[in-house]
């Protein structure tokens, strides 16, 4: 399995810049959680890594898996890497699955389309895969339609599809947000077990700090389209260096129920929409801002082993 390297990635929709100068590394077999409020740019970055941005979106910088550049791929080359090199796990399994196709067929189609297997061979592989993602009686489940399954079962089917071609990188875009706490814990445990077995790298998008603590080795915090802090989860949680990270962790502690936290993770003030504020883009909401914060943008700098933060006061 290969490492994922993201270098100076930017994403823009016309004049609106959603992601700016993002550089991250995710070694094979590890999980990076990408965390931030709605509108922080994390989903745009996820789509950039999975090469699922809508046509006409501006993508700059480099997205490499095992040294292979994905950012410049087009057409058939791009279709060829989707699912095989990088795979995407969506939040809304109901929307992602075909409502009028039995789930076994949907899983089997991946093998038929990408590996040219016969319908019978594909069905056999689909059954094996459904069993591997913890679905009891896979033959029975394979004959059902998506609406006949529970939310947790649908997400297991989505995981089966995402991992069918043994990708090197899995981009998981808040896949447990709609699930209750118990089912969420089961899905996180399943993904961790599959990662330990297969060794793929994961980028897990979330706004739930409880999920970050559960699943990730490293965390990168996004604000205004930039990474404002990154480092090993344990170190960042023990001593967050950026005031925004501190606010996210405090907000999560005030909402101990995971499901509520996922819905209501809020801190004082509004995240920037459109034009960014001058200087540090967090300064209008920052409780410890100093004079230079409104005029001078802090660059990201090393503040400890494997840790970076973009704040004048960090370190
Ligand atoms: Fe707050 Fe200033 Fe640090 Fe920005 S640079 S997070 S405004 S202290």
- Write down the pLDDT at residue 116: 87
Query: Whose CA is closest to atom 7 on ligand 1?
Result: 283
pLDDT in tens, 274-306: 778 899 999 999 999 999 999 999 999 999 999
Could you tell me if the CB of 111 is within 6 A of ligand 1?
Answer: no
Could you tell me if the CB of 94 is within 6 A of ligand 1?
Answer: no
CB of 219 within 8 A of CB of 186?
no
Is residue 204 over pLDDT 90?
Answer: yes
CA angle (159, 162, 168) in 5-degree steps: 120
Q: Which of 288, 292, 309 is the best mutation target for the ligand 1 pocket, counting ligand atoms within 8 Å of the beta carbon and taking the most?
A: 288
The lowest-confidence range among 32-46, 111-125, 205-219, 253-267 is 253-267
- Write down the pLDDT at residue 303: 95
Could you tell me if the CB of 278 is within 6 A of ligand 1?
Answer: no
Is residue 109 over pLDDT 70?
Answer: yes
Could you tell me if the CB of 286 is within 6 A of ligand 1?
Answer: yes
The token pair that represents 180 in the structure block: 């209750």
Ligand 1 centre distance from Cα of residue 126 (Å): 51
Query: Rounded to an integer, what distance in angstroms lies between the CA atom of residue 220 and that of residue 13?
Result: 23
Q: What is the pTM of this model?
A: 0.91
Q: Which of 224, 228, 245, 313 is the best mutation target for the ligand 1 pocket, counting ligand atoms within 8 Å of the beta carbon and taking the most?
A: 313
Going by pLDDT thresholds of 50, 70 and 90, the confidence category of residue 53 is very high
Average pLDDT score, the chain = 91
pLDDT in tens, 130-183: 999 999 899 999 999 999 999 999 999 999 999 999 999 999 999 888 888 889
CB of 229 within 8 A of CB of 249?
no
Mean pLDDT of 109-126: 89
Q: Where in the chain is the domain with CATH 3.40.50.300?
A: 4-85+167-309
Residue ranges of alpha helices (H) inside the chain are: 42-50, 75-81, 93-96, 103-115, 119-132, 138-142, 151-163, 181-198, 209-215, 233-238, 243-254, 258-264
Structure-derived torsion over alpha carbons of residues 70, 73, 78, 81, reported in degrees to the nearest 10: -30
Query: Whose CA is closest to atom 3 on ligand 1?
Result: 311
Q: Which of 227, 240, 245, 282 is the best mutation target for the ligand 1 pocket, counting ligand atoms within 8 Å of the beta carbon and taking the most?
A: 282
CATH 3.40.50.300: does it fit domain 4-85+167-309?
yes
Ligand 1 centre distance from Cα of residue 13 (Å): 27
Give, in order, the Cα–Cα distances in Å from 174 to each of 53, 63, 73, 279.
17, 21, 26, 30
Could you tell me if the CB of 293 is within 6 A of ligand 1?
Answer: yes
Mean pLDDT of 46-62: 95
- State what percent of residues in the chain have pLDDT above 90: 71
């Amino acid at each position: 399995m290969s490492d994922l390297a993201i270098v100076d990635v930017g994403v823009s929709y016309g004049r609106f810049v959603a992601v700016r100068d993002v550089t991250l590394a995710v070694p094979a077999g590890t999980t990076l959680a990408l965390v931030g409020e709605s509108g922080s740019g994390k989903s745009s970055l996820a789509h950039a890594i999975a090469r699922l941005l809508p046509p006409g979106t501006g993508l700059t910088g480099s997205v490499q898996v095992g040294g292979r550049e994905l950012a410049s791929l087009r057409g058939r080359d791009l279709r060829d890497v989707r699912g095989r090199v990088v795979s995407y796990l969506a939040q809304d399994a109901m929307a992602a699955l075909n409502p009028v196709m039995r789930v076994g067929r949907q899983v089997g189609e991946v093998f038929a389309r990408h590996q040219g297997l016969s319908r019978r061979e594909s069905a056999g592989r689909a059954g094996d895969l459904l069993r591997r993602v913890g679905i009891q009686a896979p033959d029975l489940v394979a004959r059902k339609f998506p609406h006949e399954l529970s939310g947790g079962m649908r997400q297991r089917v989505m995981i089966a599809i995402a991992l069918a071609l043994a990708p090197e990188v899995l981009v998981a875009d808040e896949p447990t947000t709609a699930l209750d706490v118990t089912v969420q814990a089961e899905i996180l445990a399943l993904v961790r077990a599959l990662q330990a077995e297969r060794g793929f790298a994961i980028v897990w998008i979330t706004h739930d700090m409880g999920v970050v603590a559960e699943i990730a080795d490293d965390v990168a915090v996004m604000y205004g389209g930039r990474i404002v802090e990154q480092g090993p989860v344990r170190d960042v949680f023990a001593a967050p260096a950026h005031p925004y990270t501190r606010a996210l962790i405090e907000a999560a502690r005030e909402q101990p129920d995971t499901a509520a936290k996922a819905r209501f993770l809020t801190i004082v003030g509004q995240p920037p929409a459109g034009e960014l504020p001058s200087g540090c883009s967090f300064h209008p909401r920052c409780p410890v801002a100093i004079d230079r914060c409104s005029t001078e943008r802090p660059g990201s700098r090393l503040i400890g082993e494997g840790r970076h933060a973009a704040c004048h006061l960090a370190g």
